[in-house]
Structures are given as structure tokens and as C-alpha cells.
Amino acid sequence: TLERPLSPRRRRTKRGRTDSPSPLVRVLILMVGQAKATVLVVGLDNSGKTTIVNCLRPDREEDIAPTIGWSVSRFTIGKTKLTVMDMSGQSKYRELWDSYYTDVQAVVFVVDASDRKRHKEAHGVLISVLGSGDLSGLPFLAFCNKMDLAEAVPPAELARALDITNLSDRAWHLQPCCALTGEGVQDGIGWLVARIKGR
């Protein structure tokens, strides 16, 4: 789905999010078993990590708290338990990240597609994350977030800016999304869950 445009928005809840997974994700949910997984969610501050995590939680009424340092969230998709480590992208916290790289089964990297001037910085962070030995070979999902904004770059352009297309040592997927509405988020996680099960 690298260049797939976002479809017209699905029906939304009063809080502005889609209220059911797509048919594709429902099929993936049926396919997954009892696997437990720890998923590392990283990205620059303000990229939308907290919004994505809250959008996936069954308890959708929870308020979105600002990310300070790091936080751990647990939620379930189908029968697969996911633990998400949502860490601030602010540079003063980055040295904390690698202490959470052990016992991780997948990596999610969130990028604000509309913030073109920070894509180089995001690329630098991504290099350091994917360069960690603890994370080598793990399935890698990149969310190209904030696709609802006019300034958002096309996913293919973001893939070039982050040099994702040259990744050959792991399964990867670039998913355009809008965390505010949930569009694309569950599809991306569905891909990740299927990859974790397949390992």
C-alpha cells in the first residue's frame, strides 16, 4: 500500500474515529492466534505516536496524555496481546530508548508526513533504531501519519526521505494513515500482527 491513496473516510464515532476495523483487518484478526508480542513504537515528538496508540485501544474514551519520557501501554487485537512502548522523540530522552530494545518482536516508527522539515531528523533516528542489534531482522512498520493535512508528502516521497525502500534485512511496510480518524491505522497493525505470527 506504499502509494495507495486514502479512501473516503469511513463512518466515524462522535469522537472522530472510525468505529470498526476494516474487512481486511477482521480477516487478519481471525487468522492470528494466542501470540504475545512486544511492539516498540518510536518516532519524533509530535509525530502522532500517542494518538495512534489511543486509537487502537479498545477503551477509546481515554484521554490522550502528552508523551513525557516514555510510557507503556497494553492492548489486544483479536487474541494477540500487544505491549506498546511509546517513547518521546525529544532528544533528551533518546538515550533511554535502547534500554527497552530487548525482548521486542516488532518495530513501529511514526512519522508526521506533513512536517517535511523534520524528515531528515526522523531519518537519523530511524537509522539509530534499526541499527540496534537487539532489533535486527524484526518486522518494521512505518506509519506515514497526518495524511489528512494538505502539506503531507506522498508516501513514496517519505519512503525515499527515510530510505526505507532500501531495507533488505527485514520485512517492512509503509502505511499511510490519519491517526485522528483511524484511517489506515488498523490496516498497518494488521500487517504487523500477521508478520509477527509468521516468524
Report the site for ligand G3D in 95-124 (rule: CB under 6 A). Answer: none
CA distance 117 to 159: 15
Shortest CB 34 distance to ligand G3D, Å: 29
Query: How many residues in total does the chain contain?
Result: 199
Shortest CB 196 distance to ligand G3D, Å: 22
Question: Is residue 145 close enough to count as binding ligand G3D by CB under 6 A?
Answer: yes
Reported as type and span, the H/E element at residue 37 is strand 36-43
Q: Mask 67-96, x = binds ligand G3D (CB under 6 A)?
A: x-----------------------------
Question: Is residue 51 close enough to count as binding ligand G3D by CB under 6 A?
Answer: yes
Question: Is residue 50 close enough to count as binding ligand G3D by CB under 6 A?
Answer: yes
Residue 46 or 83 having the CB closest to ligand G3D: 46
| Cβ contacts of 114-118, under 8 Å, gap ≥ 24 | 114/146, 114/149, 114/150, 114/151, 114/152, 114/153, 115/44, 115/46, 115/47, 115/146, 116/151, 116/153, 118/44
Residues facing residue 111 across a β-bridge: 144
3-state secondary structure of 189: helix
Question: Is residue 148 close enough to count as binding ligand G3D by CB under 6 A?
Answer: yes
Residue 129 or 179 having the CB closest to ligand G3D: 179
Q: Residue numbers of the site for ligand G3D (CB under 6 A)?
A: 43, 45-51, 67, 145-146, 148-149, 178-180
